[in-house]
Structure formats: C-alpha cells, structure tokens
Amino acid sequence: MMRCTNCRDNFTDYLEDSLPPPQREQMAAHLRECTDCAAELAALRRTVAALHSLPTVSPPEDLLARINRAVDAQTTTPRFRVSWQRIGTVAAAATLLVGFWAVFSHQRPGTMTEGISPALRFEHAVKEADVAEQAPSTTAEEPAELEEAAAPAPEVIREIAPPAAVRRDRNATRGVIREVQPEEQPPSPKPVYVEERRHSESTNGAGLDVPPRGGELDLGMGEEGRDAAGMTVERHMLTLGSEPAAPPVAKAQAGARMVITPPPLEERIVGETVQVQMAIQPEADVEQAQVRVETKGSLRLAEDKPVIYQGPLSMQDSKRLAFGIIAAETGAQELRVDLTSELPGVCASTPVTIPGFELPPQHLTTQVFHGTPLDQAIRAVAQEAKLKVSIGERVGQEAVSADFSAGVPGQAALRILAESADCSLQAQGDTYTVYRPAPDNDAQ
Amino acid sequence: MPPNEAEIIRQCQTGDSSGFDLLVREHYTRVYNTAFRMLGDADGAADATQTAFVRAFSSLHGFRGDSSFSTWLYRIVINVCLDELRDAPRQPASLTLVTDDGEELQERTIPDEQADPAREAARHERQEIVHQALQRLAPEQRVVLVLYDLNGFSYQEVATTLNLPLGTVKSRLNRARGALKEEIKPHLELFEP
C-alpha cells in the first residue's frame, strides 16, 4: 500500500504522466482511497494551471538598443568620447583628403573593410582625424548631450541613424556611427560619417576577453594605440556616397505599437486551431502596410497565408487583426509579427512566445462501481470521459468494483478496470481497446 | 532560432561578431521574461538581460556547442539572476499590468471591449498572486518553475541548464510546485475552475 508521502513525492510525475504504469496505478488506487492526497493533488493541479497562465511580458522598448550599446561598449574606448563636432570644417576636409591618401597608399586587402563598398574604404584617415580631434573646436559651444557623453561613461556619445539614402548594413560593419556636423559643411556633397570600432587582441588585466569584432587593423593611436581596457582602437572615415553592400538586416522596433493577445490558456491545445488577436497603431498614417506572421518550430498558421493584412493603417485608430495558429507539440510556441509599410519609420518586428500548449485534456471520471459488469463499467467511464472505446470479444461481464469519485483520468480508469479483470488496454489512434490477452494454448 | 544561428556563432568565434545582434534580437524577449520571473521587477530584469548578453558576448569564444546556444544563454541569465538575488535580496515586486488606456504596456494583451471587466480584473489578480508567490520561493525552487513551467523546458533541458542530475530536477520541481501551492493556498478559491 502506498503511503501519502510517497504519493505526494510523485505528484509532478503523475501530473506529467511520466510514471511507469504500475506506479501510476498504485497512485491512482491511493488517490481513490485517500481524500487528503486527492485534495492536495487537485490543489496542485490548479496551482500549475495558474502558473502556466502567467503572460509573456514585453521588454522595455529601449532594451534592445541598451543591449546593443552595452555590447558595443565592449569594444569602445573612452579615449574617443569627445565630440566630433569639435572637428569643424577644416579638420573634416583635411580628414577627407587624408582619407583619399590612405586609400591609394595604404589600403590593405582582407581587412575590416570587407563588406563595405570600395568607396567607403578610407582607412588610415584615423591618425589625421586624431590630430584634428585635438585641435581647438571651431564650434562655439557643445550641445549638452555631447558634453555629457564626453564623460568617461561606458556609453557612446551619440548614435545617429544614417538617413535612408545612406543607410548601410549595420551588421556588416557593426560599430558606432557618428555624424560629422560642422557648422560649415565640408566641400563634399555627400554626408560624412565617422565609424569607430575597437577590438581586443588579448585578455586585458581585468580578465575581460572580448572577441575581435571584425578585423585586425591597428591604425595607430600615437603612443596610446590601445585604450585602458587593452583594446585596439581603429576608426574609419567613411563617405557614404553609395548604397551599402547589403540592406539592414533587422527592422527597427519603432514607428508602430503592436499589442498581441495570445489565446487563453485553456484554449492552447495541441492540434487545435486557436486564435491570436492583435492590434496595431502606427505613429503615422500609411497607405501600404503589410503585416506578416512567421511561425517557428512546430507551430504553423491555420491558413497558409503569412501575410495577414495589407492595406492602410491610421495613426488615429487601432487596427484589430486575428489569425489562427496550430501547434503540433506541447510547450511554448514562438512566432514573429512583422509590420512594414511604405514609410521607413513605420515598421515593427516583435517576437512572441506563447507558453503552455498542452495535449487535449484527459476528461475525468467520477464513477463508482460495485460488482458492475466490466463492459458496462467501461462504457460508463468512456461516456463520461468522452473517450472512444472498443471492447474485445473475449471481454465478458466480469464483476468489477472501483471508486473513481475523487476524479480519475478516463484513460487511467479504463486501465484499472481492465486490469482488475485480467484484461488489457491498448490505444489505437483516438480509440481505446479493452481486450483479454489470448491464453498461450490459444495462440498455438 | 534563426536558421543560421550556428553560422553566426561560428563567425563570432572567428572574429566577425557582426551577427551578434541577431542573436540578441532572437532571444532577448524570452531572456527578459526569464529574468522578470526570477527577479520580480521590470528594471532588474532589464539590467539582468543586458548583463547576460554582455557576458554571453564576452564568453562566446568559449562556447563549444555541447549544449544548444539557448541553453547556454539561459544558464548565463540564470546565473546573473542568482548572483543578483544573492547580492541584493528583494521583496516581491508588483506585476505591471496593462491598463485600459494602454499606459503600462507590459503585458501583451489587448483591452477587450467585449470582455467582462470584472473577469479581466479577476484574471489580473490571479496572475499577480502567482507572480508574488513565485517571488517568495527560494531561488533554487523558483528557477526550476521558471524554466520548466514558464519556459517550457524539458526535464533534461532544465538539468543541462542548471547542471543538475535529472532526478534532482524532478524532485526539486515537485517540491517547488508544492511550495508554490502552499503560497497561493490562501487564495485558492480564486483559482477554482
């Protein structure tokens, strides 16, 4: 006879249906007799369901940018946290000239500039830029934002997204992009950006070992070619006169607000179509918005149409949409919703994780049998637990007794009934068959 | 998982870390949710998420692929959270819930005009109770619930992430669920079907 302690130690395995059949039946038998354990199990079942009902929370909107900045800071030295606005017109022009000099006299193949179009390869402009950096600023005063950033904080001064016309592949040349904005524009008709990157070549004294980020160039920083963290610093002068080698890989998570409502927990059943609702509100009116859903893993869309909406969106109204999903496996399911439009700023991309998909619930039976014919008991359980059963020819009307009043999963009840009459239970598809194994002499 | 995740990792390990932000984008929501349930508050979760990715980036060269990247990443964020809890034990924080005017958009829900407001309020109350109860558990119990019940990890994945024997995971999960049940027992009537 199982003790209460043993029974409760196995509650989770029982709920997860991961007990070997004999042990599971022992537990079921104990639960039929011990109302305390049965009540505890019921409470635990509700607790687990409540836990599974916790929603996925959205990270703060700025978290992604924060993470990327922090990772970038691993390769950024405080040495250059000064305003590039100090450079001024003359310095910028000089830098450009030196940049051209660098291209034609010092360009080395196979360096970090791979992935950048040849027009952007202005290596070795850095030395001269460094000189220019130290020159007195021609700008009257620094914006407060830049002054603050000039402090030795582990953040970049200012990150300016390049305009669409000069947008480049951030993933190809990951780094901090700073716009040179002198009071007087340099004589170049094209915008000028300075990119700064750094990488470590060895573990520094603090034990930080940052993987190199894209190249081996050491462009020379005077007597301080490395920063305090032991990282090599390099800086590239880029004139973005041509389109980048590849478009941006990731879309900005901005420009629209998307709110996604997963199906209620009780509806998250494997194999069934469940509805996900969403609302979208852009920050500007757009005429040609497209909302696309991409599923992952075992999840698929109920209708094989990943584009769930095409048309206008108004910043005044929240557009409500819905789409069906079907999970083939239990557990958390993932999808991604992408919004694109004709306005580059109105786009969004958000991953969604919907936890708690489960197999169809086992319906319980609460039947009590005292000397009931086996076939009759089986049909009663099947009817209550909504199970399909088939009764073999050799299964007769043996009297069986069982008390399932505490609530027992129908499948387990069928097995208990069958085995109490020396029969067996077999699942074939969605049908359970109760049969009596053939005696050895019959099989011969 | 991005189809090219393994390739991105390999590139990062050989010096081209340009794809690392794709890994961040792919995993940060779940990492944040893990930290949020572990630490109980949004600010702490955001900080832990950031720290975890920085640590992952710094250590990626040592990732051998013995486990999946996500398992490796979750091990890092769990360690960050456990460190944080050890250094600064905290009181359970409140869960920020969506309001009808959408001011606090922490939860991916749409205020449903058709829904019964009382029912919605009750649902939020139940979630708050569970979230707070979770914070009152010992961290070593909380972590198995977060990984197994909230993140949908298998026993084996939990065992790998926490570097624990499978049997320990099972028994700890059973005890953790039992402890959570005791925590919410005073409110159990709210959870009646």
Stretch A364-377: mean pLDDT, rounded?
A: 88
Q: What is the pLDDT of residues B85-121, one digit of tens each?
A: 887 766 543 333 333 444 443 333 333 434 567 777 8
Question: At residue B9, does pLDDT exceed 70?
Answer: yes
Tell me the CA distances in angstroms from A307 to A275, A293, A322, B111, one per residue in order.
15, 6, 12, 24
Of B53, B61, B173, the CB nearest to A211: B61
A211 at the B interface (CB within 8 A)? Answer: yes
Q: Which residues contact A381 (CB under 8 A, 6 or more apart)?
A: A365, A367, A387, A404, A410, A413, A414, A417
Check B109 against A55: CB less than 8 A apart: yes
Show residues of chain B in contact with A199, CB under 8 Å: 15
Give the range of the structural domain holding residue B157, as residue numbers without chain letter: 94-193
- Note which residues in 388-427 of chain A have CB less than 8 A from chain B: none
Quick one: pLDDT band at residue A429, thresholds 50, 70, 90? low
Domain boundaries defined on chain A: 1-52, 64-239, 253-357, 362-444
Q: What is the pLDDT of residues A165-183, one digit of tens each?
A: 222 232 322 232 233 333 3
Helix and strand tally (H, E) in chain B?
8, 0
Check B32 against A43: CB less than 8 A apart: no
Topology given in CATH for the domain delimited by A362-444: Phage tail protein beta-alpha-beta fold (3.55.50)
Give the CATH number, domain containing residue B47: 1.10.1740.10
Question: At residue A79, does pLDDT exceed 50?
Answer: no
Minimum mean pLDDT among A58-72, A164-178, B90-104, B163-177: which range? A164-178
Show residues of chain A in contact with B114, CB under 8 Å: none
**Per-residue model confidence (pLDDT) at position A291:** 92
Show residues of chain A in contact with B170, CB under 8 Å: 12-13
A20 at the B interface (CB within 8 A)? Answer: no
Whether residues B66 and B117 share a domain: the answer is no
Whether residues B101 and B85 share a domain: the answer is no
**Per-residue model confidence (pLDDT) at position B27:** 92
Quick one: pLDDT band at residue B193, thresholds 50, 70, 90? low
**Per-residue model confidence (pLDDT) at position A80:** 30
What is the percent of chain A with per-residue pLDDT over 90, rounded to a whole number? 9
Nearest CA distance, A370 vs chain B (angstrom): 30
A203 at the B interface (CB within 8 A)? Answer: no
More confident residue, A73 or A78: A73
- Give residue B175's Cα distance to chain centre: 19
Whether residues B53 and B65 share a domain: the answer is yes
Beta bridge partners of A199: A232
Average pLDDT, chain A: 63
Of B49, B171, B193, the CB nearest to A63: B49
Show residues of chain B in contact with A214, CB under 8 Å: 15-18
Last residue of a domain, one of B53, B68, B90: B90
Please report the beta strands in A264-345, taking only residues with DSSP state E, as ranges in sequence order.
273-282, 286-295, 299-301, 307-313, 319-327, 331-340
Alpha-carbon distance of B174 to B156, in angstroms, equals 15
Give the CATH number, domain containing residue B104: 1.10.10.10
Identify the H or E element spanning A143: none
Helix-, strand-, coil-residue percentages of chain B, each rounded to 5: 70, 0, 30
Alpha-carbon distance of A195 to A235, in angstroms, equals 6
**Per-residue model confidence (pLDDT) at position A81:** 31
Q: What is the pLDDT of residues A381-401, one digit of tens each?
A: 988 888 888 888 888 888 898
Question: At residue A296, does pLDDT exceed 90?
Answer: no
Whether residues B138 and B169 share a domain: the answer is yes
- Give residue A386's Cα distance to chain centre: 37
B179, A48 Cβ separation under 8 angstroms: no
For A210-233, b where at least 16 C-beta lie within 10 A, e where not — what string? bbbbbbebebebeeeebbebbbbb
**Per-residue model confidence (pLDDT) at position A75:** 58
Whether residues B44 and B103 share a domain: the answer is no
More confident residue, B35 or A342: B35
Nearest CA in chain A to B112: A261
Show residues of chain A in contact with B105, CB under 8 Å: 58, 257, 259
A361 at the B interface (CB within 8 A)? Answer: no
SS (H, E, C) B89-109: CCCCCCCCCCCCCCCCCCECC
pTM comes to 0.43
Check B130 against A170: CB less than 8 A apart: no
Last residue of a domain, one of B90, B107, B125: B90
Nearest to A81 by CA among A233, A273, A187: A233
Alpha-carbon distance of A330 to A429, in angstroms, equals 18
**Per-residue model confidence (pLDDT) at position A2:** 82
Topology given in CATH for the domain delimited by A253-357: Immunoglobulin-like (2.60.40)
More confident residue, A320 or A270: A320
Cβ burial of A439 (10 Å; 0-12, 13-18, 19+) is exposed
What is the SS3 assignment for A246? coil
DSSP at A392: -
More confident residue, A139 or B66: B66
Complex ipTM, two decimals? Answer: 0.83
- Note which residues in 122-161 of chain B have CB less than 8 A from chain A: 123, 126-127, 129-131, 134, 145, 149-152
Alpha-carbon distance of B97 to B108, in angstroms, equals 9
Total domains, chain B: 2
Stretch A178-198: mean pLDDT, rounded?
A: 32
Stretch A114-133: mean pLDDT, rounded?
A: 31
Q: What is the pLDDT of residues A253-263, one digit of tens each?
A: 347 777 777 78
State both tokens at B100: 């009808």
